[in-house]
Chain A
Amino acid sequence: MKRLLGSLLLSLGLGVASLALAEEVAPVAADAVAQVAAPAADGAVAAVPTPDKGDTTWMLVSTLLVILMTIPGLALFYGGLVRAKNMLSVLSQVFAIFCVISILWVVYGYSLVFTSGGDLNSYIGGLSKMFLAGVDTSVNVETFSKGVVIPELVFMVFQLTFAAITVALIVGGFAERIKFSALLVFSVLWFTCSYLPMAHMVWFWGGPSAYGDPAGFLFAKGVLDFAGGTVVHINAAMAALMGAIVIGKRVGLGRDAMVPHNLTSTMIGASLLWVGWFGFNAGSNLEANGTAVLAMVNTVVATAAAAVSWMFAEWLLKGKPSMLGMVSGAVAGLVAVTPAAGFADPMGAIVLGLIVGVACLWGVTGLKKALGYDDSLDVFGIHGIGGIIGAIGTGILVNPALGGTGVFDYSTMAVAEYSSAQVMSQVWGVGVAVVWSGVVSFVLFKLIDMIMGLRVSEEQEREGLDTASHGECAYNL
C-alpha cells in the first residue's frame, strides 16, 4: 500500500499529461488493493508508465545530433560561404548563440513554451517551470502515444537544441557586417519575443492523455509541423530577411568579388547538417518506433531529391552542375521535409524534394535579384521558401490517398478522414510565422539600431570582422 501511495504521489508531481493518467488509474488500483493485496501492488506499479530505455536513448542520441547540426555543422556551412576575413566572426556568432540560448532555455525558455500560460495560453506559456522548477530525473512526459513516456529532462534538452539552432540560422542573413554586441542583444530579444511564442503556439499541448487541455493557437488550428518547419525555418528566415533589409547591403556588393572562401568547409558543414537532421526529424517523434524510421527515410530521400533537382536545374540553366548548388539543394530539401517528415510517405517526400530544389534555386537567384536585398548566405531563399513549400506541402502529402499517414485524432484514437481544409490550416501556420516573426524582427532590429547601432563601421567591414570584432585571424599561413 505504501508502495502504491508512493507511486501515486510521484505521479502527482508529474506534468499535466501524467497527472491526468494517474487520476484515471487511481480508483482502479485502489479497488484492486482492497480485494487482493499482492497482485494489486504489481498492477499498480505497472499502471504508472516508466520510460523505455530505447526511447530515452534515442532521445539522448537525437539531442546530440541536433547539437552537431549547430556546432560545428551550421557554423562550418556558413563559415565557408563568407570571405576569409570574416570566417571567425561567423563561427563565433554561431557558437556564442548556441551558448547563450542554451542557458536562456533552461532559465525561462522551456517554461514559456511547454507550460500552460493561463489566459495567454493561446500565444505563450507560463513561468511555472522557470529555472526548471520541478523538472528533475523522476519526472516523465508523455510522447505522442498514449501511456508512453520519456524523462522530461531529455525532452527539455532536446527542445533546447531546436531553440539554439533556430537563432543561429539567422546570422546568415546579415553575415559579414553585423556588430557582435548588437547580434547578441538581438538574439536574446528575438528568442524571447519570436521563438518562444511560435514554439508555444505550434507545439504546446497536454499530450495524448490530456487532449481536453487548451493547446497553443496554431496547434488548435490543426497545423501539422512535425519537426519545426514553421517554428524553426520560416521563423528564422523572416528574421534573417528583416535583418538583411534593416542593416543594408554589404560594402562593395556587386563591385567586389564576394566569393565563398572555402567550399570544402561548406560541404562538410552541409553534410553534418544532413546527418544531424536525422536527430532533428526522427527525434521529433519522441519515441524509437516506426514513425521515427519513416521520418528518417523521408529525411534521406527528400534531401537527395532536392540536391539532384537543384543540380540538374543549375546544369540546364547555367551550364554547370556546382557543388555549392548540390549542398544548397540538400539543405532546401531538409528544410522542406522537416514539417512533413512523419506525415508524408517516401514517394511524397521525393516529390516535395524535387519541387523545393528548383524553387529554392529561384529563391536565391530570381527572387533575390528582383527584391534587391542582400541576404548574404540566402537564409530566406532557402529556409524561407523551402519552409513555406514544406509547410503547405505537408498539408497535401499527409493525405492517405497520396500515401500519407493521415491525421491521427486522439479523441477517437483513430486516423481521421482527410480533409483538404488541412491545407488551409497549414496556410495559417505559414501566415502567422511570417507575420509574427517579420514584425517582431523588424521592430527589434530598428530598436537596436537606434540604441546601439547594428553595423560595424565601413572601415571595420573592409578590414574584416575577424580582426575588427574578435582580434584574431582564421588562417595564419
Chain B
Amino acid sequence: MKFVTAIIKPFKLDEVREALSALGVSGITVTEVKGFGRQKGHTELYRGAEYVVDFLPKVKLEVAVKADLVDQVIEVISKAAHTGKIGDGKLFVWDLEQVVRIRTGETGDTAL
C-alpha cells in the first residue's frame, strides 16, 4: 500500500477530487494549510506599514491506495492540479505499513 500526500492550489481541489473518484479512489482527507516554496509570499500594506506574508494558503490532500494504483494516482493529481504557474504544489509518496477500518476491524487492502 502507498500513501500520497499532495499540496495543491486550493481552487484545484474539486478537479483533483473528481479525477481521483473517476479512478476509483474511495476516500481522501483534506486539510487547509499554509506554507511556502518557490512561490514565496506577497506583501501587504496597512497605512504604510509593510508586512511580508510568507505563508500562502494551500490544500493538503491525503490518499491511501493499493500499491498498483499509485502511479495512476500520481498522474491524475499532477494533471488535475497543474496550471503551469509557480506554486502548483508537490506530491510526496510514502510506503504504507498498515490500515485498519475502525468499525469492522478489517485491515490491509480490504480496509482501504
Cβ-based interface call for A324 (8 A): yes
What residues on A are CB-neighbors of B47 within 8 Å?
Answer: 324-325, 328, 364-365, 378, 381
CB-nearest residue of chain B to A369: B48
CB-nearest residue of chain B to A319: B45
What residues on B are CB-neighbors of A328 within 8 Å?
Answer: 47
B51 contacts A361, CB within 8 Å? no
What residues on A are CB-neighbors of B48 within 8 Å?
Answer: 318, 361, 364-365, 368-369
For the complex, what is the distance from the CA of A319 to the CA of B47, rounded to whole Å? 13
What residues on B are CB-neighbors of A257 within 8 Å?
Answer: 51, 53
Cβ-based interface call for B44 (8 A): yes
Interface residues of A in 315-340 (CB under 8 A from B): 318, 320, 322, 324-325, 328
Supply 26 A–B pairs (Cβ within 8 Å), ascending by A.
A257-B51, A257-B53, A258-B49, A258-B51, A259-B44, A259-B46, A259-B51, A260-B46, A318-B45, A318-B48, A320-B45, A322-B45, A322-B46, A324-B46, A324-B47, A325-B47, A328-B47, A361-B48, A364-B47, A364-B48, A365-B47, A365-B48, A368-B48, A369-B48, A378-B47, A381-B47
Within the complex, the shortest CB–CB distance from B77 to chain A, in Å, comes to 30
Within the complex, the shortest CB–CB distance from A382 to chain B, in Å, comes to 9
What residues on A are CB-neighbors of B53 within 8 Å?
Answer: 257
What residues on B are CB-neighbors of A361 within 8 Å?
Answer: 48
For the complex, what is the distance from the CA of A364 to the CA of B51, rounded to whole Å? 16
Which bracket fits the contact residues of A?
10 to 19
Within the complex, the shortest CB–CB distance from B92 to chain A, in Å, comes to 28
For the complex, what is the distance from the CA of A381 to the CA of B49, rounded to whole Å? 13
Within the complex, the shortest CB–CB distance from B3 to chain A, in Å, comes to 30
The chain A residues found within 8 Å of chain B, CB to CB, are 257-260, 318, 320, 322, 324-325, 328, 361, 364-365, 368-369, 378, 381
What residues on A are CB-neighbors of B49 within 8 Å?
Answer: 258
Interface residues of B in 25-69 (CB under 8 A from A): 44-49, 51, 53
CB-nearest residue of chain A to B54: A257
What residues on B are CB-neighbors of A325 within 8 Å?
Answer: 47
For the complex, what is the distance from the CA of A378 to the CA of B46, rounded to whole Å? 11
Residue among B44, B45, B48, B53 facing the most chain A CB atoms (10 A cut-off): B48
For the complex, what is the distance from the CA of A325 to the CA of B47, rounded to whole Å? 6
For the complex, what is the distance from the CA of A121 to the CA of B53, rounded to whole Å? 56
Number of A-B residue pairs at CB separation under 8 A: 26
What residues on B are CB-neighbors of A258 within 8 Å?
Answer: 49, 51
The 7 closest A-B pairs by CB, nearest first: A365-B48, A364-B47, A257-B51, A318-B45, A259-B51, A324-B46, A260-B46
For the complex, what is the distance from the CA of A322 to the CA of B44, rounded to whole Å? 10
What residues on B are CB-neighbors of A368 within 8 Å?
Answer: 48
For the complex, what is the distance from the CA of A415 to the CA of B52, rounded to whole Å? 56
CB-nearest residue of chain A to B47: A364
For the complex, what is the distance from the CA of A475 to the CA of B51, rounded to whole Å? 24
For the complex, what is the distance from the CA of A320 to the CA of B46, rounded to whole Å? 11
Q: Apart from A318-B48, A324-B46, A378-B47, what 7 extra A-B contacts exist at CB < 8 Å?
A: A259-B46, A320-B45, A325-B47, A361-B48, A364-B47, A364-B48, A369-B48
CB-nearest residue of chain A to B50: A318
What residues on A are CB-neighbors of B51 within 8 Å?
Answer: 257-259
What residues on B are CB-neighbors of A318 within 8 Å?
Answer: 45, 48
Contact with A along B67-105 (1 / 0, CB 8 A): 000000000000000000000000000000000000000
Within the complex, the shortest CB–CB distance from B34 to chain A, in Å, comes to 13
Within the complex, the shortest CB–CB distance from A310 to chain B, in Å, comes to 10
For the complex, what is the distance from the CA of A18 to the CA of B85, rounded to whole Å? 78
What residues on B are CB-neighbors of A364 within 8 Å?
Answer: 47-48
What residues on A are CB-neighbors of B46 within 8 Å?
Answer: 259-260, 322, 324
Within the complex, the shortest CB–CB distance from B43 to chain A, in Å, comes to 9
Within the complex, the shortest CB–CB distance from A186 to chain B, in Å, comes to 25
For the complex, what is the distance from the CA of A318 to the CA of B47, rounded to whole Å? 10
For the complex, what is the distance from the CA of A258 to the CA of B50, rounded to whole Å? 10
Within the complex, the shortest CB–CB distance from A434 to chain B, in Å, comes to 23
Within the complex, the shortest CB–CB distance from A255 to chain B, in Å, comes to 11
For the complex, what is the distance from the CA of A165 to the CA of B53, rounded to whole Å? 35
For the complex, what is the distance from the CA of A390 to the CA of B101, rounded to whole Å? 72
For the complex, what is the distance from the CA of A325 to the CA of B49, rounded to whole Å? 12
For the complex, what is the distance from the CA of A259 to the CA of B46, rounded to whole Å? 7
Within the complex, the shortest CB–CB distance from B90 to chain A, in Å, comes to 26
What residues on B are CB-neighbors of A378 within 8 Å?
Answer: 47
Within the complex, the shortest CB–CB distance from B50 to chain A, in Å, comes to 9
Within the complex, the shortest CB–CB distance from A12 to chain B, in Å, comes to 55
What residues on B are CB-neighbors of A369 within 8 Å?
Answer: 48
Within the complex, the shortest CB–CB distance from A333 to chain B, in Å, comes to 15
Within the complex, the shortest CB–CB distance from A29 to chain B, in Å, comes to 62
For the complex, what is the distance from the CA of A257 to the CA of B41, rounded to whole Å? 14
CB-nearest residue of chain B to A381: B47
For the complex, what is the distance from the CA of A271 to the CA of B14, rounded to whole Å? 38
For the complex, what is the distance from the CA of A257 to the CA of B48, rounded to whole Å? 14
For the complex, what is the distance from the CA of A328 to the CA of B49, rounded to whole Å? 14
What residues on A are CB-neighbors of B44 within 8 Å?
Answer: 259
CB-nearest residue of chain A to B45: A318
